[in-house]
C-alpha cells in the first residue's frame, strides 16, 4: 500500500528534451494554435485573415531557420536523438522536412487568393494546413513506430477536413469523407502492423528493432513479416501506391485545388520519408523479403498510374493518376536498396514538389470560381488566351513528362540510373516505357490548352494575384534550374541520404 | 582546344535568339522575323567558319569542348565535330534560314511562337549532331521533340494534332529504350573499369571489354530502336508520311532535310564503335530492311495522290539507300551513305519548298486536282524539273554521287542486295516523272489555269539548294575528302575489334586503310576531364 502511494507521489522522470530537435514541429504547430487564437480574439475583423496568413508564414520561416541550423548541426556532429529516442534528426530528415516546408509555404501562398475567390473562411483553413505540416515534419523525424503513428494522425486528420473544406461543393464533401474513411482504415492497418512488429521484436523504436534483428535470429518469422507487410500497406496508402491508390483520383479531384497541391507535394514527401526510414533502419536485414514486394508495388504503381490516366477526361484526375505514377518512380529508386537509389528518391521528391505545386497552382488560377470545371474541354484555348500562364503550365507538364532540360528529366534520370547501376533491368525498362505512356496524357492536356476554345474567351479576364504569381514563377524557375544545372541539387541530395 | 568555343556558340546562338524573341512585343511580327533570320544567319556564318577551318584529312574529333554537367552521374557536356557531323551542321544551318524565309509570309498567327520554336529546334538539332556524350546526345535527341511537336500542332495542316502526337510518341518509345541502354552501357563500363562516364570516345575504346555478345546485341537493338524509328527504317516508317503531310512547309523542309537523317547519323556515329560485333552480326538484317525500304517506299510513292505524301515516301526510299550504304560496311558504302545525308536535304528541301509554293496558290496538294501548271507557271515548273532530276539522282546532281557510291559499296560486299536496290533508282524515276506529268503537263483547267508563276523571292529560296546540289554532283571532292578519313577510321576500328574484313575490289590500295586507334582518342578524352 505504501509502495503504491510512494510511486504515485514520486516525480515522474521525463526524458530530457533537445528543444532544437523538435523546434520546427513546435514552430509549425505553434503557428497553427496562434492562428486559432487570433481567430478567437479578432473575430471577424478585417485584419483577421492577413494576421493569420502572416502567422502561418512566420511559422514556416521559423521552422526553416531551425532546419537550417539543424542541417549544419547534424552534418557536423551526427544525428540528434531526443525525447527518449522518439525523435531522430538526421540529414535525411532535415532534407525532407525542408521539402515539406517548401510545399507548405507554397500551399499557403496559393490558398490566399483561392479562399478569397471561393469566399471560404481563411483562419480555420490555414490553421489546419499548419497543423498538418507540423505532423509531417514530426513524422519525418520520428524514430519510433508509436511516434510515427501519432504523427500520422496529426498530419492526416487536418487533411481530411481540408479535403472537405469547400463544403458547399458536393465533390469536396465526398472527397473528404472518402479520404477519411479510407485513411482511417489505412491507419488501423498501420497500427496493426506496429502491433505485430512489436510482438515479434519487443520494441517499437526503429533503431532498437534494427539492432534486435541484427543480433538475434527470429525463431518464427511470420509475425514480423506480416507486421512489415501491414506497415507497407498502411504507408502505401499515403504515398498512393497501387493497389492502395483508390482514394487518390476522387480526393484529388474533389478537394480544393490548393489542398490537392499540398497533398500531392508535402504529404508524399512525408509518407515516403517514413516508408524509407522504417524499411531502411528497422528492416535492413530483411531486404530480400521487402525488395520483391516493393518491386511488385513499383511496377503496379507505374503501370496503373500511367495507363489509367489515359482514359480520364478531367484534368485533376489525370494529374492524380500522374501523381500515382510519380510514386512509382520514387519506389524504383527506393527499391534498388542502394545509397544511389535513396539519393534518387530524395531528389525526385524535391523536384516533384516544385512540379506538382506549380502545376496545381496554374490549375487553380485557370479554374473558374466554384473550382469544379476541370474537364479537358474546359481548358481548351487557355494557352492561346493566356500565353504566359498557359506556356508555364505546358512547361510544368513537359517537366512532369520528363523532357530534358527540365527538373523532371533529371529526377527520372537519377532514378533510372540507380536502377541500371544495381542491375535492376526489369524496373529500368518498365520505367522508361511507362514514362512514354505518361507523355501521352501530358500531351493531351497540352494539346487541349493549345486548341481553340469552344466556349468563348473566359480566361482572359482573370487576374493573377501576387501570391500565386510568386509561387508559379519561383516553382517554374526551380524546375528549370534543376534541369539545366542539376549539380548543386544532386550534391545536396547526396549529403542527405544518411541516417547518421 | 581553340580559344573560342565555336561549337557551343553554334548550339547556343539560336536559343539565345529564341529567348530574345520573348521580349519582342507580339504586335511587331516584322521585328520577330528579322531577329529570327538574323540568328539563323549568324549560326550559318559560324558553321561556314567551322567548315572553312575544318582540318581535312584528320579523322579525329576537332574543336572538342568538354564541360562537367551532372557530377554524380558522370554525364558531361562534350561537343566535337568530325568529318560526318560537320556537313550535317552546315546543312542544318543552311536549311534553317531558307525554311524561315519560306514560311515568313504565310505564318500570320502567333508569329513569335512559331519563330521561337523554330530557333529552339535549331539548337536541339545542332546539339544532336555535335554531342559526344551519350547523355548529352539523348538530352538533345529527346528535347528536339518539343519544338517539333509544337511547330506541327500549332501551324500544320488539317490533321495536325494527330500527326504531332504520333510523331512525339513514336520517337519517344525509341528514345526511351535508347536511354535505358545508354545507362546500362555506362554502368557496365563502370562495373568493369571503375570509371562512370558516358563519353563516347572512352566507351568506344573500351569496346565491351570481355562482355558477352548477347549483352552487346541487346544494347545495340535498344539504340537501333531509336535510330530505326527516326531513320525511318522499313517497318517503323508509318509516322513519316502523316507527319510530313501535316507539317507546315518550313517544318517539312527541316523534317525531311535534317530530322530523318538523325537516325542514320546516330547509327553511323555510335554503332560502329560502341557495338562493333553486333553491328557486323546484324548488318545483313539492316541490308534486308534497307532494300525493302527502297522498293516499298518507291512503289508506295508512285501510288500517292498527295504530292507531299509522295515526297515523304520517296524519303523512305532515299533513307533506305543511306542504310544500305552503312550496312555494306565498306568505306565506299559509308562514304556514299554520308554523302546522301548531305545531298538529300538539298533536293528534298527544294521539292518541299516548291510543293509549298503550289499549295499556297492552289490550296491543294492532291495530284488529280492539279494539272497543266506548266502553261501558267513556267518558271516554277522549271525549278521543279531541276529539283526532280536532282532528286531522282541524275548524273551531274549530288543525288547520283551518293547513291552510286552506296550501291558500289554494297556491290563489293553484298552483291544481291545492290542489284535489288538498284531497281529502286529506276522506280524513283517512275514515280517522279509520273507525278510530274500529271501535275505539270496537259491542258490547265479551272483554277490551275490562273496560277501565278514563281516570284523572285521563291526562286531565290530554291536556287541555292539546287545550285549546291549541282555543284556537289559535278565536284563532290570537297565533301568526300572530309568524310573519308572518319569513315576509314570507323571501318578500321571494325576490323580491329572483330574478325570482319572488308572485301576490297581489285586494285584497292589497302595501305591507305587505318587511322588513329581509339585507345589514343580515349586517352585524349580522359586527359580533358582531368
The 10s digit of each residue's pLDDT in B450-501 is 788 888 888 888 999 999 999 999 998 889 989 988 998 888 888 888 888 8
pLDDT in tens, A200-230: 999 999 999 999 999 988 888 899 999 999 9
Least confident of A68-72, A87-91, B100-104: B100-104
pLDDT band at residue A178 using 50, 70 and 90 as cut-offs:
very high
Chain A neighbors of B72, CB-CB under 8 A? 343, 490-491, 494
The pLDDT of residue B511: 42
Compute CA distances B180 → A7, A80, A295, A467, B93, whole Å: 66, 40, 18, 41, 31
- A110 in Cβ contact with A468 (< 8 Å): yes
Rounded Cα–Cα distance for residues A115 and A107 (Å) = 12
Put simply, the answer to whether B179 touches A432 (Cβ < 8 Å) is: yes
Q: Which of B110, B154, B184 sits opposite A420 (nearest CB)?
A: B184
By CA distance, what is A443's nearest residue in B?
Answer: B165
Put simply, the answer to whether A420 touches B187 (Cβ < 8 Å) is: yes
Q: Report yes or no: B173 at the A interface, CB cutoff 8 Å.
A: yes
Cβ neighbours of residue B19 under 8 Å, at least 6 residues apart?
none
Query: Which of B361 and A201 is assigned the larger pLDDT?
Result: A201
Scored b (16 or more CB within 10 A) or e, A279-313 reads bbbbbeebeeebeebbbebbbbbbbbbbbbbeebe
Chain B neighbors of A440, CB-CB under 8 A? 165, 169
pLDDT band at residue A456 using 50, 70 and 90 as cut-offs:
low
By CA distance, what is B138's nearest residue in A?
Answer: A404
Mean pLDDT of all residues in A339-355: 95
pLDDT at A409 over 90: yes
pLDDT at B287 over 50: yes
Q: Report yes or no: B177 at the A interface, CB cutoff 8 Å.
A: yes
The pLDDT of residue B231: 83
Burial of B109 (0-12, 13-18, 19+ CB in 10 A): exposed
The pLDDT of residue A63: 96
- B44 in Cβ contact with B94 (< 8 Å): yes
pLDDT in tens, B425-439: 889 888 999 988 888
Put simply, the answer to whether A435 touches B135 (Cβ < 8 Å) is: no
Rounded Cα–Cα distance for residues B269 and A418 (Å) = 27
pLDDT in tens, A38-68: 999 988 788 889 999 999 999 999 999 999 9
A338, A394, A417: best to mutate for the B interface, most B CBs within 10 A: A417
The pLDDT of residue A10: 67
Q: Which of B69, B143, B176 sits opposite A432 (nearest CB)?
A: B176
Put simply, the answer to whether A420 touches B70 (Cβ < 8 Å) is: no
Which range has the top average pLDDT, A86-95, B102-111, B147-156? A86-95
Q: Which of A403, A433, A451 sits opposite B176 (nearest CB)?
A: A433
- A302 in Cβ contact with A431 (< 8 Å): yes
B25, B72, B159: best to mutate for the A interface, most A CBs within 10 A: B72
pLDDT band at residue A83 using 50, 70 and 90 as cut-offs:
confident
pLDDT in tens, A284-332: 888 888 999 999 999 999 999 999 999 999 999 999 999 999 999 999 9
Query: Which of A456 and A103 is assigned the larger pLDDT?
Result: A103
Chain B neighbors of A421, CB-CB under 8 A? 187, 190
- Break chain B into its structural domains and give their ranges: 6-529
Closest CA to B80 of B53, B60, B51: B60
Put simply, the answer to whether B161 touches A451 (Cβ < 8 Å) is: yes
pLDDT at A4 over 70: no
Chain A neighbors of B179, CB-CB under 8 A? 413, 416, 432
The pLDDT of residue A458: 63
Mean pLDDT of chain A: 91
DSSP state of B397: S
pLDDT band at residue A266 using 50, 70 and 90 as cut-offs:
very high
Phi, psi dihedrals of residue A82, rounded to the nearest 5°: -145, 175
Mean pLDDT of all residues in B12-38: 87
pLDDT in tens, A120-162: 888 999 999 999 999 999 999 999 999 999 999 999 999 999 9
Compute CA distances B322 → A329, A360, B336, whole Å: 39, 47, 7
Query: Which of A7 and B301 is assigned the larger pLDDT?
Result: B301
Q: Within a 13 Å sphere around the CA of A259, how many CA atoms are in the beta-carbon half?
A: 31
Q: Nine-digit cell at B68?
A: 562537367
Tell me, rounded to whole angstroms, the distance of Cα B17 from its chain centroid: 23
Q: Report yes or no: B218 at the A interface, CB cutoff 8 Å.
A: no
Chain A neighbors of B146, CB-CB under 8 A? 398, 403
B15, B70, B149: best to mutate for the A interface, most A CBs within 10 A: B70
3-class secondary-structure state, position A236: helix
pLDDT at B168 over 80: yes
CA distance B175 to chain A (A): 9
- Break chain A into its structural domains and give their ranges: 21-495
CA distance A398 to chain B (A): 9
The pLDDT of residue B513: 42
Put simply, the answer to whether A413 touches B73 (Cβ < 8 Å) is: yes
Least confident of A311-325, B244-258, B259-273, B329-343: B244-258
A306, A413, A423, A452: best to mutate for the B interface, most B CBs within 10 A: A413
Mean pLDDT of all residues in B54-78: 88
Chain A neighbors of B246, CB-CB under 8 A? none
CA distance A83 to chain B (A): 36
The pLDDT of residue B248: 83
pLDDT at A463 over 80: no
Q: Within a 13 Å sphere around the CA of B389, how many CA atoms are in the beta-carbon half?
A: 13
A396, A399, A436, A496: best to mutate for the B interface, most B CBs within 10 A: A436
Cβ neighbours of residue B373 under 8 Å, at least 6 residues apart?
B358, B380, B381, B439, B440, B444, B448, B451
pLDDT in tens, B310-344: 988 998 899 999 999 999 999 999 999 999 999 99
pLDDT at A236 over 60: yes
Phi, psi dihedrals of residue A88, rounded to the nearest 5°: -140, 110
Tell me, rounded to whole angstroms, the distance of Cα B527 from its chain centroid: 32
Amino acid at each position: 500500500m505504501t509502495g503504491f502511494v510512494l510511486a504515485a507521489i514520486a516525480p515522474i522522470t521525463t526524458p530530457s528534451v533537445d528543444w532544437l530537435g523538435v523546434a520546427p514541429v513546435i514552430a509549425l504547430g505553434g503557428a497553427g494554435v496562434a492562428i486559432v487564437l487570433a481567430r478567437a480574439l479578432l473575430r471577424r475583423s478585417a485584419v483577421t485573415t492577413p494576421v493569420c496568413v502572416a502567422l502561418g508564414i512566420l511559422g514556416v520561416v521559423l521552422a526553416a531557420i531551425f532546419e537550417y541550423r539543424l542541417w549544419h548541426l547534424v552534418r557536423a556532429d551526427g544525428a540528434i536523438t531526443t525525447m527518449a529516442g522518439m525523435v531522430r534528426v538526421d540529414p535525411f530528415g532535415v532534407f525532407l522536412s525542408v521539402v515539406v516546408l517548401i510545399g507548405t509555404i507554397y500551399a499557403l501562398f496559393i490558398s490566399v487568393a483561392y479562399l478569397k475567390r471561393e469566399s471560404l473562411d481563411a483562419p480555420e483553413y490555414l490553421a489546419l494546413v499548419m497543423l498538418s505540416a507540423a505532423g509531417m515534419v514530426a513524422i519525418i523525424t520520428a524514430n519510433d513506430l508509436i511516434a510515427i503513428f501519432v504523427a500520422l494522425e496529426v498530419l492526416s486528420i487536418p487533411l481530411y477536413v481540408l479535403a472537405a473544406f469547400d463544403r458547399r461543393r458536393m465533390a469536396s464533401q465526398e472527397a473528404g469523407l472518402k479520404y477519411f474513411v479510407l485513411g482511417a482504415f489505412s491507419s488501423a492497418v498501420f497500427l496493426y502492423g506496429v502491433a505485430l512488429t512489436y510482438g515479434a521484436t519487443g520494441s517499437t523504436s526503429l533503431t532498437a528493432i534494427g539492432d534486435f534483428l541484427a543480433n538475434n535470429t527470429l525463431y518464427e518469422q511470420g509475425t514480423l513479416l506480416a507486421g512489415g507487410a501491414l506497415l507497407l500497406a498502411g504507408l502505401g496508402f499515403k504515398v498512393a501506391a497501387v493497389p492502395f491508390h483508390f482514394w487518390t483520383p476522387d480526393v484529388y479531384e474533389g478537394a480544393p485545388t490548393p489542398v490537392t497541391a499540398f497533398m500531392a507535394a508535402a504529404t508524399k514527401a512525408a509518407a515516403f520519408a517514413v516508408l524509407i526510414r522504417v524499411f531502411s533502419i528497422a528492416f535492413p536485414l530483411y531486404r530480400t523479403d521487402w525488395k520483391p514486394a516493393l518491386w511488385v508495388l513499383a511496377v503496379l504503381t507505374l503501370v496503373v498510374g500511367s495507363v489509367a490516366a489515359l482514359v480520364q477526361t478531367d484534368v485533376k484526375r489525370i494529374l492524380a493518376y500522374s501523381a500515382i505514377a510519380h510514386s512509382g518512380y520514387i519506389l524504383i529508386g527506393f527499391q534498388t536498396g542502394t545509397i544511389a537509389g535513396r539519393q534518387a528518391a530524395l531528389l525526385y521528391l524535391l523536384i516533384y514538389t516544385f512540379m506538382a505545386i506549380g502545376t496545381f497552382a496554374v490549375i487553380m488560377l485557370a479554374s473558374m470560381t466554384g473550382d469544379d470545371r476541370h474537364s479537358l474541354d474546359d481548358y481548351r484555348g487557355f494557352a492561346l488566351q493566356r500565353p504566359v500562364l498557359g506556356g508555364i503550365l505546358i512547361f510544368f507538364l513537359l517537366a512532369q513528362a520528363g523532357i530534358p532540360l527540365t527538373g523532371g528529366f533529371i529526377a527520372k534520370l537519377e532514378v533510372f540510373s540507380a536502377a541500371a547501376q544495381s542491375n535492376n533491368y526489369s524496373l529500368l525498362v518498365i520505367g522508361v516505357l511507362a514514362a512514354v505512356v505518361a507523355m501521352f496524357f501530358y500531351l493531351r492536356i497540352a494539346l487541349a490548352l493549345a486548341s481553340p476554345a469552344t466556349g468563348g474567351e473566359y480566361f482572359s479576364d482573370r487576374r493573377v494575384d501576387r501570391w500565386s504569381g510568386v509561387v508559379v514563377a519561383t516553382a517554374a524557375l526551380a524546375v528549370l534550374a534543376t534541369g539545366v544545372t542539376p549539380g548543386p541539387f544532386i550534391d545536396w541530395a547526396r549529403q542527405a541520404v544518411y541516417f547518421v | 582546344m581553340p580559344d573560342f568555343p565555336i561549337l557551343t556558340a553554334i548550339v547556343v546562338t539560336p536559343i539565345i535568339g529564341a529567348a530574345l524573341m520573348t521580349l519582342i512585343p507580339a504586335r511587331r511580327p516584322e521585328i520577330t522575323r528579322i531577329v529570327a533570320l538574323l540568328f539563323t544567319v549568324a549560326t550559318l556564318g559560324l558553321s561556314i567558319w567551322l567548315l572553312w577551318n575544318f582540318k581535312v584529312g584528320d579523322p579525329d574529333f576537332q574543336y572538342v569542348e568538354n564541360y562537367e554537367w551532372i557530377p554524380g552521374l558522370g554525364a558531361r557536356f562534350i561537343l566535337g565535330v568530325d568529318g560526318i557531323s560537320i556537313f550535317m551542321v552546315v546543312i542544318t544551318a543552311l536549311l534553317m534560314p531558307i525554311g524561315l524565309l519560306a514560311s515568313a509570309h504565310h505564318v500570320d498567327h502567333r508569329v513569335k511562337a512559331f519563330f521561337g520554336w523554330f530557333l529552339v529546334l535549331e539548337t536541339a538539332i545542332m546539339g544532336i549532331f555535335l554531342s559526344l556524350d551519350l547523355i548529352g546526345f539523348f538530352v538533345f535527341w529527346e528535347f528536339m521533340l518539343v519544338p517539333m511537336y509544337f511547330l506541327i500542332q500549332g501551324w500544320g495542316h488539317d490533321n495536325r494534332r494527330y500527326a504531332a502526337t504520333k510523331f512525339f510518341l513514336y520517337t519517344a518509345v525509341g528514345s526511351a529504350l535508347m536511354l535505358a541502354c545508354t545507362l546500362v552501357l555506362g554502368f557496365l563500363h563502370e562495373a568493369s573499369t571503375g570509371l562512370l562516364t558516358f563519353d563516347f570516345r572512352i566507351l568506344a575504346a573500351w569496346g565491351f571489354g570481355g562482355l558477352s555478345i548477347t549483352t552487346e546485341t541487346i544494347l545495340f537493338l535498344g539504340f537501333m530502336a531509336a535510330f530505326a524509328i527516326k531513320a525511318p527504317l522499313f517497318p517503323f516508317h508509318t509516322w513519316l508520311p502523316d507527319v510530313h503531310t501535316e507539317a507546315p512547309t518550313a517544318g517539312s523542309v527541316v523534317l525531311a532535310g535534317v530530322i530523318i537523317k538523325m537516325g542514320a547519323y546516330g547509327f553511323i556515329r555510335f554503332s560502329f564503335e560502341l557495338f562493333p560485333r553486333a553491328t557486323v552480326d546484324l548488318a545483313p538484317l539492316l541490308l534486308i530492311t534497307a532494300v525493302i525500304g527502297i522498293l516499298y517506299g518507291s512503289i508506295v510513292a508512285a501510288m500517292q495522290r498527295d504530292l507531299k505524301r509522295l515526297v515523304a515516301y520517296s524519303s523512305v526510299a532515299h533513307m533506305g539507300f543511306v542504310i544500305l550504304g552503312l550496312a555494306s560496311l565498306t568505306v565506299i558504302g559509308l562514304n556514299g551513305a554520308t554523302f546522301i545525308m548531305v545531298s538529300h536535304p538539298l533536293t528534298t528541301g527544294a521539292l518541299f519548298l516548291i510543293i509549298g509554293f503550289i499549295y499556297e496558290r492552289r490550296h491543294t496538294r492532291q495530284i488529280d486536282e492539279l494539272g497543266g501548271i506548266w502553261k501558267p507557271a513556267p518558271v516554277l515548273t522549271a525549278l521543279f524539273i531541276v529539283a526532280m532530276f536532282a532528286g531522282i539522282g541524275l548524273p551531274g546532281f549530288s543525288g547520283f554521287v551518293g547513291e552510286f557510291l552506296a550501291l558500289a559499296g554494297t556491290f563489293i560486299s553484298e552483291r544481291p542486295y545492290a542489284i535489288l536496290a538498284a531497281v529502286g533508282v529506276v522506280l524513283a524515276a517512275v514515280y517522279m516523272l509520273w507525278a510530274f506529268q500529271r501535275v505539270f503537263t496537259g491542258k490547265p483547267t479551272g483554277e490551275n489555269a490562273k496560277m501565278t508563276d514563281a516570284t523572285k523571292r521563291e526562286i531565290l529560296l530554291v536556287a541555292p539548294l539546287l545550285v549546291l546540289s549541282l555543284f556537289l554532283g559535278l565536284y563532290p571532292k570537297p565533301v568526300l575528302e572530309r568524310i573519308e578519313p572518319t569513315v576509314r577510321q570507323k571501318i578500321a576500328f571494325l576490323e580491329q575489334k572483330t574478325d570482319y574484313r572488308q572485301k576490297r575490289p581489285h586494285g584497292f590500295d589497302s595501305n591507305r586503310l587505318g587511322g588513329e586507334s581509339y585507345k589514343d582518342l580515349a586517352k585524349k578524352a580522359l586527359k580533358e576531364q582531368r
